[in-house]
């Protein structure tokens, strides 16, 4: 049996890949523009400030990477929370449902836990840097 040597590019459909990036970008813009996505806008703005501050303080490469990673995790969690909220609103057709309320609250709590942990880590990184 003969095996053909294939390069990586032959396995990638760049047209589909570009479409998937376009859809993801559209989803991000749509999430930012939602009336109820105030928290997402706050997370994006605070992330930009925090990352800029990390560079301004000339933090170590590891600390900057950690800050960027934590910011992206919080924003990703908020995007998932927004998607869960939209899906729940659709599922209950706008009517109050105690089960839906619990799902939405738990989803929001996951973002809160991640945001608080990220804030604590940021304090651990920034406070010594400010005291230098």
What CATH code is carried by the domain that includes residue 78?
A: 1.10.287.3610
Question: Rounded to two decimals, what is the model's pTM?
Answer: 0.86
pLDDT of 11: 81
Task: Flag whether 2 is in a domain.
Answer: no
Structure-token pair, residue 37: 């996505």
Q: Print pLDDT tens along the chain (132 aa).
A: 555 556 667 788 989 999 999 999 999 999 999 888 899 999 999 999 999 999 999 999 999 999 999 999 999 999 999 999 999 999 999 789 999 999 999 999 999 999 999 999 999 999 999 998
Q: Which domain holds residue 50?
A: 14-131
Task: Flag whether 89 is in a domain.
Answer: yes
* CA–CA distances in Å: residue 107 to residues 44, 53, 67, 83: 18, 29, 23, 10
* DSSP code at position 10: G
Is the CB of residue 5 less than 8 Å from the CB of residue 14?
no
Q: How far apart are alpha carbons 109 and 98 in whole angstroms?
A: 16
């Amino acid at each position: 049996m003969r095996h053909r040597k294939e390069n990586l590019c032959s396995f990638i459909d760049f047209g589909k890949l570009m479409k998937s990036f376009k859809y993801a970008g559209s989803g991000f813009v749509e999430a930012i523009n939602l009336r109820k996505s105030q928290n997402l806008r706050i997370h994006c703005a605070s992330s930009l400030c925090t990352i800029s501050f990390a560079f301004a303080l000339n933090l170590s490469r590891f600390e900057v990477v950690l800050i960027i990673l934590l910011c992206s995790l919080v924003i990703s969690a908020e995007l998932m929370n927004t998607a869960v909220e939209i899906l729940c609103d659709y599922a209950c057709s706008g009517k109050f449902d105690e089960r839906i309320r619990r799902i939405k609250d738990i989803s929001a709590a996951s973002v809160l836990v991640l945001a608080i942990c990220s804030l604590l880590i940021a304090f651990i990184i920034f406070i010594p840097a400010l005291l230098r």
